[in-house]
Amino acid sequence: MFEEDALDMLFLEEEEFELDWPDERELTEEEEETARQDAERVTEVAKLVAVDCDLTLLGIHTGGGHWRDSAAALAQHIRPVFRVFLPEVMARGINVAVVTFSPQPQLIKEALEIGLLEYGCDASEVLVMGGRGGIINGEDMSTTDVELWSAGGRRMGKNHKQRHISMVVDHFKEAGLDLDPSEIFLVDDDQINVEAAKGHGMRAVRFNPEEPHRIFGEGAFENALVTPDTTAE
């Protein structure tokens, strides 16, 4: 339980984080087409697209997962590029999961459904794996509790997002879908998470918050397919 002073400090930090990146505008027609092409390229190599939340899917950081406004308000911060990219990915039959250290997965799930519905996309089947071990899935917002070594929206140890992704993979396995690491594609603004995913045989790319109108920077998709040599000293 947080002491009152600690909570006040936490919310102060949250307010400092709640800022959109500069030039967070709607996409041009050319940028929309690029986002569709990026979705097509990803779906040619992946069966699961995993997306980070703060500063990747969202144009803000929620202050460690302590968003105090509504899901509808949070939905307004979904980046325009993901409003195009994710529906295109799902339209091609590819599974999508949001993997986040945030302890508010249900709120994120609701925000995603609201935000993509405006674009005619049903996001009810998107999974959200939160930092306290709950997978939010399905139209009924059902929760599958799992053991997860993370809490309170903060990274612990060197777990990165691998535990999150592993739990999502187990969820799909129970539903009859086996996923090879090479069939998983992570999009994350944290290069450490990206390299950790590659080290586990996954495909991964760093989303650059300073270029919020494109999923892949120059050469990023090609680099996403290159798995680092984990045997090197």
The DSSP string of 14-74 is HHHH--PPTT--PPPHHHHHHHHHHHHHHHTT-SEEEE-IIIIIBSS--TTT---S-HHHH
Residue 32 has pLDDT above 80, yes or no: yes
Considering the domain boundaries, does residue 13 fall inside one? no
pTM over 0.85: no
**Range 122-138 average pLDDT:** 80
Task: State the CATH number of the domain containing residue 163.
Answer: 3.40.50.1000
Name the 3-class secondary structure at 142: strand
Task: Extract the tokens encoding 160.
Answer: 């990165």
Task: Please name which of 138, 139, 49 lies closest in space to residue 88, comparing C-alpha atoms.
Answer: 49
Considering the domain boundaries, does residue 9 fall inside one? no
Q: Give the Cα separation of 204 and 206 in Å (integer).
A: 7
Considering the domain boundaries, does residue 211 fall inside one? yes
Strand pairing of 203-206 and 184-188? parallel
Q: Give the Cα separation of 13 and 114 in Å (integer).
A: 26
Considering the domain boundaries, does residue 86 fall inside one? yes
Considering the domain boundaries, does residue 89 fall inside one? yes
Percent of the chain scoring above 90 in pLDDT: 63
Considering the domain boundaries, does residue 32 fall inside one? no
pLDDT digit string, tens, across residues 62-71: 987 789 999 9
pLDDT digit string, tens, across residues 75-99: 999 999 999 999 999 999 999 999 9
Average pLDDT, the chain: 82
Note down the domain range covering 163.
46-224
Name the 3-class secondary structure at 208: coil
As for how many domains the chain has, the answer is 1
Percent of the chain scoring above 70 in pLDDT: 75
Considering the domain boundaries, does residue 66 fall inside one? yes
Give residue 138's pLDDT: 57
Residue 145 has pLDDT above 80, yes or no: no
Considering the domain boundaries, does residue 15 fall inside one? no
pLDDT-based confidence at residue 148 (cuts at 50, 70, 90):
very low
Give residue 6's pLDDT: 37
Residue 157 has pLDDT above 70, yes or no: no
Give residue 65's pLDDT: 78
Q: Lowest-pLDDT range, 109-118, 158-167, 185-194?
A: 158-167
